[in-house]
Amino acid sequence: MVRGRISRLSVRDVRFPTSLGGHGADAMHTDPDYSAAYVVIETDAEDGIKGCGITFTLGKGTEVDWSRKGRGAPGDSGRPKRGVGLVGQAGGKACLEVTCGHEILQKGQIGKKEREKQMLAQGYPAYTTSCAWLGYSDDTLKQLCAQALKDGWTRFKVKVGADLQDDMRRCQIIRDMIGPEKTLSLFLQMMDANQRWDVPEAVEWMSKLAKFKPLWIEEPTSPDDILGHATISKALVPLGIGIATGEQCHNRVIFKQLLQAKALQFLQIDSCRLGSVNENLSVLLMAKKFEIPVCPHAGGVGLCELVQHLIIFDYISVSASLENRVCEYVDHLHEHFKYPVMIQRASYMPPKDPGYSTEMKEESVKKHQYPDGEVWKKLLPAQEN
């Protein structure tokens, strides 16, 4: 029985001026404005069911995604866009039901029901990237790191890759604040180069940063260079440094090649880059087969809201393990979502509302719509002057 037909499709260019505060800056993107092509599909169903979707961008390029969606074209995985992930917040009713093979569900140290209770009580462990963007001064870095420690965070990611001496100084600040080597079992540091290096440069650079005992280096080189990642992995694993990558991978085939080549120790799905929930699920199953922990990429506009569903599902129904698993969290822009992510004790708490948590507040959309929203009407003339 058909509940309703599509009656209207709207696509809006929503941009947040994060560059003003240095938020989101890394070695490849020095002044990003976290943005999204925001899609709402409405129907003529009596209960008003609708679907909301997001393509996360860094500002420049949103208009390209906007025009493609307006023509009904599929999402494009090229830079700077994140591939389309359209799953609705369907009028208060769950949009997705997933089942997995019996043999997968039954594996793990505790049963599925116990894992569900564990998630409800404790949540899924997270790490924060909010402290150490490259756009932050040392004083800001120290202030944010101190606050994060006070709030219970024990896992921190540092952006690196633009200047080695600058990286050494900033990593030392973080290491001094979170504790010496003896506390590494509780306090972890990750690093992210955002594809800045070529292969030999990545090995050389990380050999010098190895003294700070990072758990992983993320995206050390081009995300398409499978064999390059494998070479870097082979060189850095003896130093105790893993390779984390995958946020730019747009389909399961790339992940299959990374896994087969032993090119990564931590697999990072992106809830918008991979086309659809089903594509993400296929990658979760492959990671289970290869016994590689999934540590999703998040942050941006709505990525934390989306990925929470995937990672909690992964633990309860696929991996059945929290060993070496942690999900990224960025403390930006959640206030613009109708169903924002919930963080307690540095962990993702299971969402209580049905759907994929993609719906944005209409007031926020109108205010930040580019270029006619209230925020940009004030900022654009000032930038031109």
Is residue 314 a contact partner of residue 281, using CB atoms and an 8 Å limit? no
Task: Give the pLDDT of residue 55.
Answer: 85
Task: Give the pLDDT of residue 48.
Answer: 84
Is residue 296 a contact partner of residue 311, using CB atoms and an 8 Å limit? yes
Cα(333)–Cα(348) distance, integer angstroms: 16
Task: Give the pLDDT of residue 47.
Answer: 86
- 0.95 exceeded by pTM: no
Is 182 a residue whose pLDDT tops 50?
no
Which amino acid, one-letter code, is at 361? K
Tokens of 170: 């900033």
Tell me which residue has tokens 């952006």: 159
Task: Give the pLDDT of residue 29.
Answer: 81
Cα(55)–Cα(70) distance, integer angstroms: 13
Task: Give the pLDDT of residue 84.
Answer: 34
Give the 3-state secondary structure of the chain.
CCCCCEEEEEEEEEECCHHHHCCCCCCCCCCCCCEEEEEEEEECCCCCCEEEEEEEECCCCHHHHHHHHHCCCCCCCCCCCCCCEECCCCCCCCCCCCCCCHHHHCCCCCCHHHHHHHHHHHCEEEEEEEEECCCCCHHHHHHHHHHHHHCCCCEEEEECCCCHHHHHHHHHHHHHHHCCHHHCCCCEEEEECCCCCCHHHHHHHHHHHHHHCCCEEECCCCCCCHHHHHHHHHHHHHHCCEEEECCCCCCHHHHHHHHHCCCCCEECCECCCCCCHHHHHHHHHHHHHHCCCECCECCCCCHHHHHHHHHHHHHHHHHCCCCCCCEEECCCCHHHECCCCEEECCEEECCCCCCCCCCECHHHHHHHECCCCHHHHHHHHHHHC
pLDDT tens-place string over residues 55-85: 888 887 676 655 555 444 433 333 333 333 3
Packed helices 277-290 and 303-313: angle between N→C axes, nearest 10 degrees: 50
Is 258 a residue whose pLDDT tops 80?
yes
Cα(331)–Cα(113) distance, integer angstroms: 31
Task: Give the pLDDT of residue 106.
Answer: 45
Q: Is the dihedral of CA 32, 214, 150, 180 positive or negative?
A: negative
Q: Are strands 85-86 and 50-57 parallel, antiparallel or unpaired?
A: antiparallel
pLDDT tens-place string over residues 81-134: 333 333 333 333 333 333 344 434 444 468 999 999 999 999 999 999 999 898
Task: Give the pLDDT of residue 21.
Answer: 86
Is residue 14 a contact partner of residue 370, using CB atoms and an 8 Å limit? yes
List the catalytic residue out of 23, 50, 69, 159.
159
Cα(103)–Cα(318) distance, integer angstroms: 10
Mean pLDDT of 263-272: 94
Tell me which residue has tokens 């698993």: 325
Task: Give the pLDDT of residue 178.
Answer: 82
- Among 105, 128, 126, residue whose Cα is nearest residue 115: 105
Is 274 a residue whose pLDDT tops 60?
yes
Residue 175: CA count within 13 A, CB half-sphere: 19
- Among 226, 322, 299, 124, residue whose Cα is nearest residue 243: 226
Is 167 a residue whose pLDDT tops 80?
yes
29 catalytic residue (yes or no): no
Is residue 194 a contact partner of residue 28, using CB atoms and an 8 Å limit? yes
Cα(380)–Cα(280) distance, integer angstroms: 38
Could you tell me which residue, 31 or 92, shows the higher pLDDT?
31
- Among 29, 15, 113, 23, residue whose Cα is nearest residue 336: 15
Cα(219)–Cα(170) distance, integer angstroms: 19
Q: Provide the mean pLDDT of the chain.
A: 85
Is residue 203 a contact partner of residue 232, using CB atoms and an 8 Å limit? yes
Percent of the chain with pLDDT over 70: 85
334 catalytic residue (yes or no): no
Work out the pLDDT band at 32, boundaries 50, 70, 90.
confident
List the catalytic residue out of 29, 81, 297, 368.
297
